[in-house]
Amino acid sequence: MPKRFLPALLLAFLIAAPFCVAQDSPAADPASDPPAAAPSSGSAESLQSNPRPAAPPSEWQILGSQWKRTAPDLLRQQKEIWLFPLSVARGRHWKPTLAVIGATALLTTIDAHNARWVRNNTQPLSGFNNAFSGFNTATATEAFASAFYIVAIARHNAYDQQTFILAGEAVLDSEILTTVMKDIDRREAPISYPPGGSFTDSWFKVRHGGLLSGLGSMPSGHEIAAMSVATIFAERYPHPAWHRWLAYGLASLVGVSRVTLQAHFTSDTFAGAALGYVISRYVVLGRPPI
């Protein structure tokens, strides 16, 4: 493991702890219920009318029930994602859809300018790029989620455990969509251009890679995953307010790093952030649009 990654790994574990203690949803404790009135006699009828309460489910039973719902949930979510164009065609959600498409299209007009500036100014960004490299951001995200889940299991917190599963579903949903989109647009990344390149004519240029290789540049896979995780945690732990600032702030820094590392154009990272947010909040969490 590179030495420069150790601070990022430690940071991931430190960030996980406050989220774990932010919101507890303990199950009702049978021992806290008021005791039932004692029967007036020791007859068999009295004993039959007051059966012994069922034992609470074990930790493994709770975990099993949570993971058992994952596959059906993913199938439902994928159906909702791929049928979304039909929903728009019927007049639903067309305003936010046009807003995202319009903003992405507008950013594509300045992609070449931004990529050229980054290419000519990489030296001052070397420290930031080393800290937020693709390896570091991906591994730190995985370390944070793993640490969070381990602590949630140790604390027997079903709400936190479900948060981890929802975040995993959001990432899987997002990455499936990303892989298909990349295979269709086959957009070249800025780093693929030679010195002095114009950074234009980037669409449908990636020739290598087979079906579901996901080698195109649009949208950013790192950013869509980071924003998916950030949205799940920000929406499920809105208090205190700094939780949201931290989650969305770190996801935004991941998006910036994809541009400064020349791994993606600006429009690629914006599209990844928008798709990750929408899929997590409105598909996985099922929150109605505000």
Q: pLDDT tens digit string along 272-289?
A: 999 999 999 999 998 654
**For residue 85, what pLDDT is reported?**
92
Min mean pLDDT across 1-5, 69-73, 165-169, 193-197 is at 1-5
**pLDDT averaged over the chain?**
82
Flag whether pLDDT at 88 surpasses 80. yes
> What is residue 271's predicted lDDT score, i.e. its pLDDT?
97
What pLDDT score does 80 carry? 94
Rounded to an integer, the average pLDDT of 245-267 is 95
Supply the pLDDT for residue 38.
47
Report CA Rg, the chain. 24
Residue 191 is predicted with a pLDDT of 92
Residue 259 or 33, more confident? 259
39-43, 50-54, 75-79: range with lowest mean pLDDT: 39-43
Query: In the chain, what are the domains?
Result: 58-284 (1.20.144)
Helix axis angle for 134-154 and 242-260, nearest 10°, is 150
Nearest alpha carbon to residue 145 among 164, 158, 169: 164
Whether the pLDDT of residue 27 is over 50: the answer is no
Q: Which pLDDT band, with edges at 50, 70 and 90, does 96 fall under?
A: very high
Local structure of 26: helix, strand or coil: coil
Mean pLDDT for the stretch of residues 56-73: 75
